[in-house]
């Protein structure tokens, strides 16, 4: 019985740790979008208000699985958008929210693929620059 309890406990802990570390898209959903005037006070712009879960992982290394949304021709990329969903369902097609995409700045070129990939990099929250997405992943590299 003692071995069963220990085995069950270790299994539960490993599943919990794995699910938390591999599902950062869920954590990134802890954000609200607020409309505020831009710096010139001429236009209204959407700004993120990040929740505590997201703030806790700012400037830390995370990994995400998703789909490349190329920003230029379909060649190798050091800068692209990663979407939690395939292109036909992603934020840019109107089927998902802005919390489901992240700007990626990779160390080396990552070849375009329509298959799901997993990358790792340092998360940077964008609080107030409307020219960029609210999430950025710097020094990213391909895991699989």
User: How many structural domains comprise the chain?
Assistant: 1
Q: Which residues contact 112 (CB under 8 A, 6 or more apart)?
A: 68, 70, 74, 75, 76, 77, 80
Do the beta carbons of residue 79 and residue 104 sit within 8 Å?
A: yes
Please determine, for residue 21, whether its predicted confidence score (pLDDT) is greater than 70: no
Of 35-49, 50-64, 120-134, which has the strongest mean pLDDT?
Answer: 50-64
Please determine, for residue 10, whether its predicted confidence score (pLDDT) is greater than 60: no
Q: What are phi and psi of 27, to 5 degrees?
A: -65, -40
For the full predicted model, state whether its pTM sits above 0.85: no
What single string gives the DSSP state of each residue in 50-98? E-HHHHHHTTSEEEEEEEEE-SSSSS-EEEEEEESS-GGGSGGGTSS-G
β-bridge partners, 105:
79
d(CA 52, CA 45): 22
The CATH number assigned to the domain holding 134 equals 2.40.50
d(CA 133, CA 127): 10
What value does the mean pLDDT of the chain take? 81
Please determine, for residue 75, whether its predicted confidence score (pLDDT) is greater than 70: no
Please determine, for residue 88, whether its predicted confidence score (pLDDT) is greater than 80: no
Give the structural domain span for 84: 2-142
Q: Which pLDDT score is estimated for 73?
A: 61
More confident call, 5 vs 111: 111
d(CA 106, CA 38): 30
Burial (CB count <10 Å: 0-12, 13-18, 19+), residue 86: middle
Task: Please compute, for residue 45, the number of CA atoms within 13 A of its CA located in the half-sphere on the CB side.
Answer: 18
């Amino acid at each position: 019985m003692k071995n069963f309890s220990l085995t069950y406990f270790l299994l539960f802990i490993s599943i919990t740790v794995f699910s938390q570390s591999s599902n950062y898209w869920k954590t990134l959903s802890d954000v609200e979008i607020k409309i505020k005037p831009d710096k010139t006070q001429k236009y209204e712009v959407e700004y993120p208000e990040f929740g505590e879960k997201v703030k806790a992982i700012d400037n830390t290394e995370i990994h995400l699985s998703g789909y490349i949304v190329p920003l230029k021709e379909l060649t190798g990329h050091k800068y692209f958008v990663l979407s939690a969903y395939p292109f036909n369902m992603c934020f840019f097609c109107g089927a998902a929210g802005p919390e489901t995409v992240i700007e990626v700045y990779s160390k080396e070129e990552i070849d375009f693929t329509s298959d799901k990939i997993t990358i790792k990099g340092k998360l940077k929250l964008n609080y107030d620059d409307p020219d960029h997405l609210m999430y950025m992943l710097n020094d990213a590299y391909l895991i699989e």
